[in-house]
A and B are shown apart, each in its own frame.
Chain A
């Protein structure tokens, strides 16, 4: 197709067979082609797909990578999560706004849009930004100004990448400056050089695991996974074998395997590394899952922020098809058919929640669904579906390669195997670590060079914040459960600022469907602001706990159920920080009421001062 004639909206719809379940892909392509999905495009899509325009509009306004308003040819999305803020986000943002002459959310006359975004999975090389799909890392104000100047010359984000990262980041289909930062225990001074189990990060020779799986029956594969006691690595820790068994037992001939690569939990980036370095291990895991549950189709749901990995992953899929590892007849054994497609996300944290992810795969806005029915009964398009995390599927492949017994040698009874940790923040060696379950937090911090840590956020904002007296606790499902994020905060950090940043994130990402989450996140944020301003009272802390409990009990999905955790866990583990800031007024006046501020508008309008202030 000639560059001067971009495809029309109906043509784009036709590429996807005018299928409403591919609406996310269609909208993404319209956005890419025209810089926005405007009212005319929304109309055209609605007509082509024979769906109400409001469905299209609702989807466009839901996802952060889609917009109704035109954007520039180049969009700079600067990551604003707490780790980036600790590493100079303010200065970089100031440099961008000054050099571009625009504010956040605006577009310069030469077609560059500046935005901020939640975590893009690059906390170990913060501050970072996405320029269209291209990640740029370790920014500073000089580099920001330089990026703008270069973009003005060529408007080609790809040319911003001069020094390539390690491993597959340098692959011709990736060509990214992202670094893997895969660390080994022995990197630490005085760290032991002894046996370091590598399970999900171990090298993978493609046919092996799949061949072994296909040589036994699906029921035996499930039994092997159950024997390994493998639990979901995304955070919830549900036993993988049992999930598969449910899905296999669910009635219906058509079933689906979904790999959740919507790694949106701020501070998590281990799936990015797995997808870059061990894609075959991930896809093999999906294929084995497909064989085990009797599914013939797999979907890799890739978050929009990782779009730069897509051509590479498509190539890997193609290579697997050619090698008979995917396609109509796996390994030519006449036993099973399985193929995988990549579904791109469009920028929504809640889509990491499995039911919201399924809704998004179906081409709708990522609203979570009610459970039951569970996805294993009725998931994608109403079909029995198993949703597994990237790391879980990597472990599946390893279990097939070496057997359940070898896998169980590592870890504890309740938590077998290893866990990948994404460590960032105030530490000398941020990056990805593979540790066996049961490793004490203190040892993990020593590995990362964070002995001085005053607080550690385990499992991202939806997890918990722990302090020094918790450092002897261990990483495992029964103690410090984590989806993999570990943010380290040194003694110089204001923990309430961290809590505030997390609440800001949740308030922004709440889908708004249910009241406890939509309202609770904002209420908590206001109360934290009040406490930070020194206007809090002890009763405010009780109110926060009460709101938090309501959110936990009454929210519809995991986002709302965990969104109060930053407050609840700091109130529990760092109460003195709060107690130092809240006071009771001796006269019974509310400290939160600011009379001076409340009459300011009136004073301006009437031109006289209050006699009561």
Chain B
């Protein structure tokens, strides 16, 4: 029987959650025995190639491309997990939600004290995805099955969650893994 496939992506995140995933150290070999990696920064596929059992999402949605990728994951993964605080709650990027987008961009590109922009152009290259009016957490955009808290969730948290999902058992996260102060 083919191994289940797993896909991961980082949207409006800092890749810290992916670093935490790598931080499971040699246990990644155990994971590799259990699954095949599909689209992921780890293997560099750009699109999901076949139906995946699990999708891990780092980061929320700050632009239209994030939304497109997240929807692509939702369509192609059986179980979608928000990994880390940006995916579950917006996190640091969502701080910009306190300022209207237009004001934010004006300050950054037109009116800030250190801005030199004689043409007074906002970034408008067609290669750049359009920013959303605010940063959305993942479950505001698609249905999310599980949330892993943490900034980032520790390697142990991610490992235990993955193993539980793959073995069809209940995720058991001891208090120490989800206590942050």
Contacts and interface: CB of A to CB of B under 8 A. Distances in A.
A590 B100 CA distance: 23
Contacts, number: 71
Interface string A591-610: 01101011111110111101
Nearest to B67: A595
B105 interface: yes
Report, as a range, how many residues of chain A touch the other chain.
20 to 34
B101 A601 contact: yes
Contact of B64 (A590, A597, A599): A599
Interface in A561-613: 585, 587-590, 592-593, 595, 597-603, 605-608, 610-613
Query: Interface SS of chain B: helix, strand, loop or mixed?
Result: mixed
Interface string B115-159: 000000011101000111110100111110000000000000000
B51 interface: no
Chain B CB within 10 Å — which of A590, A597, A603, A608 has the most? A590
Interface string B63-91: 01101100100110000100000000000
A600 B68 CA distance: 16
B44 interface: no
A589 B141 contact: yes
Contacts of B25: none
A181 B99 CA distance: 52
A608 B64 contact: no
Contact of B142 (A588, A598, A600): A588
B141 A590 contact: yes
Nearest to B134: A598
Nearest to A602: B130
A598 B62 CA distance: 10
Interface in B43-75: 64-65, 67-68, 71, 74-75
A610 B143 CA distance: 23
A589 B71 contact: yes
A582 to B, nearest CB: 14
A600 B132 CA distance: 8
Nearest to A598: B132
Given A589-B71, A595-B64, A612-B67, A602 B142 contact: no
Contact of A597 (B122, B133, B141): B133
A592 B140 contact: yes
B130 A610 contact: yes
B114 to A, nearest CB: 21
B26 interface: no
A552 to B, nearest CB: 25
A611 B123 CA distance: 16
Contacts of B80: 588
25 contacts: A587-B74, A588-B75, A588-B80, A589-B71, A589-B74, A589-B143, A590-B139, A593-B136, A593-B142, A597-B133, A598-B133, A599-B130, A599-B132, A601-B100, A601-B101, A601-B133, A602-B101, A602-B133, A605-B105, A605-B122, A605-B124, A608-B124, A610-B64, A612-B65, A612-B68
Interface of A: 585, 587-590, 592-593, 595, 597-603, 605-608, 610-613
Given A588-B142, A603-B130, A607-B124, 14 more contacts: A587-B75, A588-B74, A588-B75, A589-B74, A592-B140, A598-B133, A599-B132, A601-B100, A602-B130, A602-B133, A605-B122, A608-B124, A610-B64, A612-B64
